């Protein structure tokens, strides 16, 4: 099975580095993503589901994920970096209110005092390239391995 690569552009914070057996440098990172981008991804995916599925099936899917915040956060983050689709609560306020919950649980970390700026953990190890300093942040492109 071939490995799938995902290119991620933008600001990121390296949390840990290690060397792979083939001598590549791998990094665990936090990606910089605005909360508006995450919630927009959630709502857009919800709209696709509404259009594609009968309302009864959609309601059943939502009820299974409605209170599973970890799943919602993980899939929203994955959607932002182009990895997979996600499910979202049909109540828009749930999506927006979830921000404080995920901050409290440590899924993301505030970038500044502005709650709309977040560092999001990118699960997995990534190869590092295009490293440059910019305003105290590390900007680079990572490729999943």
Q: Do residues 26 and 124 touch, judged by C-beta distance below 8 A?
A: no
> Is the sign of the CA dihedral 8, 12, 13, 19 positive or negative?
positive
Q: Could you tell me what percent of the chain has a pLDDT over 70? A: 2
What pTM was estimated for this model as a whole? 0.32
Give the model confidence (pLDDT) of 25-62 as tens digits: 666 666 555 556 655 655 565 565 556 555 555 555 55
pLDDT of residue 40: 61
**Segments in the chain forming alpha helices (H):** 35-52, 55-65, 69-80, 92-105
Q: Domain-by-domain residue ranges, the chain? A: 7-144
Residue 7 confidence class, pLDDT cut points 50, 70, 90? very low
């Amino acid at each position: 099975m071939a490995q799938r690569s995902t290119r991620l552009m933008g600001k990121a914070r390296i949390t840990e580095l290690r060397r792979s057996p083939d001598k590549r440098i791998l990094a665990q990172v936090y990606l910089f993503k605005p909360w508006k981008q995450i919630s927009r991804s959630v709502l857009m995916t919800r709209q696709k589901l509404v259009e594609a599925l009968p309302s009864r099936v959609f309601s059943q899917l939502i009820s299974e994920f409605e209170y599973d915040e970890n799943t919602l956060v993980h899939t929203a983050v994955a959607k932002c970096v182009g990895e997979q689709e996600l499910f979202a609560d049909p109540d828009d306020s749930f999506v927006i209110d979830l921000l404080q919950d995920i901050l409290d649980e440590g899924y993301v970390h505030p970038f500044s005092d502005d709650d709309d700026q977040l560092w999001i953990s990118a699960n997995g190890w990534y190869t590092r390239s295009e490293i440059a300093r910019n305003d105290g942040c590390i900007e680079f492109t990572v490729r999943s391995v």
